[in-house]
Amino acid sequence: MARRDYEIDELISAEAIAARIGALGTEIEAAFGDTEKLVVVGLLRGSFIFIADLVRKLDLPVEVDFIEASSYGNAMESSHDVRILKDLRGPIEGRDVLLVEDIVDTGLTLRHVLGLLRSRRPARLETIALLDKPSRRQVDVRATWTGFEIPDEFVVGYGIDYAQRDRNLPYIGTVRLP
């Protein structure tokens, strides 16, 4: 495998992520305690590790589905044209839904996907984002639960990529270009 031509500085350790997800799991369980079945919707691809860890903290009947929206491509700049690349497999009308996102940055992706899911009339729709960069927000949208607020830095790891690399890092780090 080719060496990286950039450095990664650890921002959030694997242990800190695990501890935070444990606490979030307790809050979500309490919030959805009376659900018949919760549909946990992962927003691909950056949420795939987060959702895997999160659902294992939920002692609730859950179903897992995925949706994919276009975002960064291979660059560090946000594309503002949000498109759905892969839709849900199942209906969510009348269901309790938890949308799981990796990062809320400008907020455009979350707003778009929330609008789409809301149009399908779920009984309840909440969101959780592992990371939030409030200083970058362009639209007024916020996740119900957030793992960590982070500064305006490009991050990788724990499911989040830089040009499709580094999703397999167990921690979250910032990219430092030479």
Annotated active-site positions, please? Answer: 105
Rounded Cα distance between 69 and 170, Å, is 24
From the list 32, 72, 145, 158, which residue makes contact with ligand 5GP (rule: CB under 6 A)? Answer: 72
Cβ 12 vs Cβ 172: under 8 Å = yes
Q: Give the footprint of ligand 5GP on residues 153-172 (CB under 6 A).
A: 154-156, 160-162
106 binds ligand 5GP (CB under 6 A): yes
CB of 123 to ligand 5GP, least distance (A): 25
Cβ-based nearer residue to ligand 5GP, 92 or 143: 143
104 binds ligand 5GP (CB under 6 A): yes
Structure tokens at 27: 């809050």
Number of residues interacting with ligand 5GP: please give it, by CB under 6 A: 20
107 binds ligand 5GP (CB under 6 A): yes
98 Cβ partners below 8 Å, 6+ apart? 28, 32, 38, 39, 40, 41, 126, 127, 128
Structure tokens at 75: 């660059």
1 Cβ partners below 8 Å, 6+ apart? none
Binding site for ligand 5GP (CB under 6 A): 46, 71-72, 78, 101-110, 154-156, 160-162
